[in-house]
Amino acid sequence: MSRMYRFRGWLLTLCATVSLSACATAPVKPSAMEAASPRSILIVPVVNQSLNVTAPDYFLATISRPLADKGYYVFPVNAVKRLLEDDGLSDADLVHSAPTPRLARLFGADAVLYVSIERWDARYLVFATQVTVQLSYVIKDGRTDQVLWQNRQTIVYQPDTSNSGNPLVNLAVNAVNAAITKAAPNYLPLARQANQQAFSSREIPPGPYAFEESSSRAAR
Reference 37, options 64, 72, 68; nearest CA is 72
Cα–Cα distance measured from residue 171 to residue 162, given in angstroms and rounded to the nearest whole number: 8
pLDDT at 9: 52
In a domain, 180, yes or no: yes
Instruction: Report the residue count for the chain.
Output: 220
In a domain, 135, yes or no: yes
Reference 187, options 67, 45, 54, 92; nearest CA is 54
In a domain, 217, yes or no: no
In a domain, 24, yes or no: no
Q: What is the 3-state secondary structure (H, E, C) of the chain?
A: CHHHHHHHHHHHHHHHHHHHHHHCCCCCCCCHHHHHCCCEEEECCCEECCCCCCHHHHHHHHHHHHHHHCCCEECCHHHHHHHHHHCCCCCHHHHHHCCHHHHHHHHCCCEEEEEEEEEEEEEEECCEEEEEEEEEEEEEECCCCCEEEEEEEEEEECCCCCCCCCHHHHHHHHHHHHHHHHHCCCCHHHHHHHHHHHHCCCCCCCCCCHHHHHHHHHHC
Average pLDDT for 174-202: 74
pLDDT at 79: 96
pLDDT at 152: 98
Cα–Cα distance measured from residue 109 to residue 104, given in angstroms and rounded to the nearest whole number: 5
Of residues 217 and 111, more confidently modeled: 111
Q: What is the pLDDT of residues 4-20, one digit of tens each?
A: 545 455 545 555 554 54
In a domain, 12, yes or no: no
Q: What is the pLDDT of residues 131-185, one digit of tens each?
A: 999 999 999 999 999 999 999 999 998 875 544 443 433 444 344 444 444 444 7
**Pairing between strand 128-141 and 147-157?**
antiparallel
CB 41 within 8 A of CB 195: no
In a domain, 213, yes or no: no
pTM of the model: 0.76
Buried b / exposed e along 190-209 (16+ C-beta atoms within 10 A): bbbebbeebbeeeebeebeb
In a domain, 170, yes or no: yes
Q: How far is CA 171 from CA 86, 163, 214, in A?
A: 53, 9, 49
pLDDT at 25: 53
Return the percentage of the chain with pLDDT > 90, whole number. 61
pLDDT-based confidence at residue 3 (cuts at 50, 70, 90): low
pLDDT at 205: 94
Q: Residue 46 sits in a domain of what CATH number?
A: 3.40.50.10610
In a domain, 160, yes or no: yes
pLDDT at 23: 47
The count of domains in the chain is 1
Q: What is the pLDDT of residues 103-140, one digit of tens each?
A: 999 999 999 999 999 999 988 766 677 899 999 999 99
Q: What is the pLDDT of residues 40-95, one digit of tens each?
A: 999 999 999 999 999 999 999 999 999 999 999 999 999 999 999 999 999 999 99
CB 178 within 8 A of CB 129: yes
pLDDT at 30: 78
pLDDT at 212: 62
Domain with 109, as residue range(s), is: 30-203
pLDDT at 26: 55
